[in-house]
Structures are given as structure tokens and as C-alpha cells.
Amino acid sequence: MKKILALALTFVMLLSFAACGGKNNDDPAVTTDPAVTTDAPEETKVVDPTDALNSIYKALPDDFKFPAGGGDANNMVMDGAGKFAFDGEENAAAIDAVLGFPVALVTKIDNAASIMHMMNANTFTAGAYHFVSAADASASVETIKSNILARQWMCGFPETLIIVDLGGNTLLTAFGNGQVIDAVKTATLNTIEGSTVVVETPIG
């Protein structure tokens, strides 16, 4: 009888140890909540101006694959987009004169690129600008729009202006022939995930 009682007590003790051991799963440091994850945070989207313009140009239908080149005087590229310098007074003046990007905003960007029609810039000119701050990118849209619409045009007038938020603090501006700009808009929205047209307006 004593042996049976001792075995019963041993069995009960083992059960209590097992129960105590199971309580460790309720440690506040451990969670099974599906809303909590230990995965690394999602990387911030980065849209490089040159890469974006090249992707858009490549995505254009064959009917709109006009001869194009890009970049500033020291970074000229044929058949694609090129970097556009904006440091210093001379380069800041050039980015405004060529692309319509206001001189007052150059301190807010850290990367820029351009692509344009080789025969007539008023047929198609586009610039892409990476802003240091997303807030500055959003706040600059109306200033850029006003600056481009106020330009003195030579060799004919472009018909349409668009400004597209490409995400990742990057804005695209494009002006030119209405059909060309419409094709560029479609290529942009289909190529750059999450891009949004924030301005689309006739010129003149």
C-alpha cells in the first residue's frame, strides 16, 4: 500500500512539474500574437531619377521612341537619360533654363536627371528630381508647376505639362506634345509602381 501511495505521489509531482514547465510559454517576453513580427522593417523605397527616366523611355511604344538624349552639358548621354548637375550658381541656372526646375528649390534635392527630344525640346522634355525630404517634394509641386507655366517659350509651344509623384521622394516633370506626354504618362504609371499624377494641365 505504501508503494502504491508513493507511486501516486511521484506521479502527482511529475504532473505538477510538467504544469509549471508549461507556464514558461506565458512569459511576457514571448508572444504568439500574429500581429507582432520579428521580421526586419520594410526598406524605404528609393527611386533614382536616371533609372526612372530610362525605364519610362524604354517602356514607350515604338511609335513614340523619338531620338532622345539627356544630362547636362558635362554629362550628356545619347539614347537615354543622364544626370543633371545643380550645384553652384551656373548649374542651378541651367537646370531652371533647360528643365524649368526653380533655382530656389535646388537646395532641397540631392539627385536630378533629364531626357529630351533631340530635335526639339518643346516636343518633349522631362526631368526627375530626388528630394531629401518627402515633405519638400509635396510642397514643391505648385512652385515647379508655376515656374514651368511662366516660361518664355521659343520654337513653338509645348501643349501639356504633367508632374508625377514617383514615390521615394522623387518627382517627374514632363512637358511637350500632347500625344507624347500622354504616352509618357501611361508608360510612367505602368512602369513605376505606386506613381501618381499630381498635375496635368495644358500650357498656354
The string of pLDDT tens digits covering residues 168-184 is 999 999 999 999 999 99
**pLDDT of 98 strictly over 90:** yes
Q: Which is higher by pLDDT, 144 or 7? A: 144
Within a domain: 31: no
Within a domain: 141: yes
pLDDT at 41: 46
d(CA 104, CA 192): 27
Amino acid (1-letter code) at residue 157? F
d(CA 135, CA 116): 28
Residue given cell 500625344 in the structure block: 179
Within a domain: 59: yes
Residue-wise burial string across 111-141, b where 16 or more C-beta atoms lie within 10 A, e elsewhere:
bbbbbbbeeebbbbbbbbbbbeeeeebeebe
Average pLDDT over residues 88-112: 95
Contact at 8 Å (CB) between 92 and 100? no
Within a domain: 11: no
**pLDDT of 34 strictly over 70:** no
Distances (CA, A) of 1 to 12, 13, 14: 17, 18, 20
**pLDDT of 115 strictly over 50:** yes
**pLDDT of 23 strictly over 70:** no
d(CA 101, CA 7): 88
Q: Which of 69, 79, 78, 73 is nearest to 93 (CA)?
A: 73
What's the pTM value of the predicted model, to 2 decimals? Answer: 0.78
d(CA 70, CA 172): 14
Within a domain: 8: no
Residue 177 per-residue DSSP state: -
d(CA 91, CA 105): 13
Within a domain: 7: no
Average pLDDT over residues 14-21: 38
What is the CB neighbour count within 10 angstroms for residue 72? Answer: 19
Q: Provide the grid cell at 161.
A: 505639362
Within a domain: 2: no
Q: How many domains does the chain have?
A: 1
pLDDT digits (tens, 9 = 90+) for 136-161: 999 999 999 999 999 988 877 899 99
**pLDDT of 91 strictly over 70:** yes
> 65: domain range?
49-202
Distances (CA, A) of 118 to 33, 79, 124, 138, 175: 58, 9, 9, 30, 14
pLDDT at 154: 80
Within a domain: 24: no
Q: Is 75 helix (H, G, I), strand (E, B) or coil?
A: coil
Average pLDDT over residues 158-167: 96
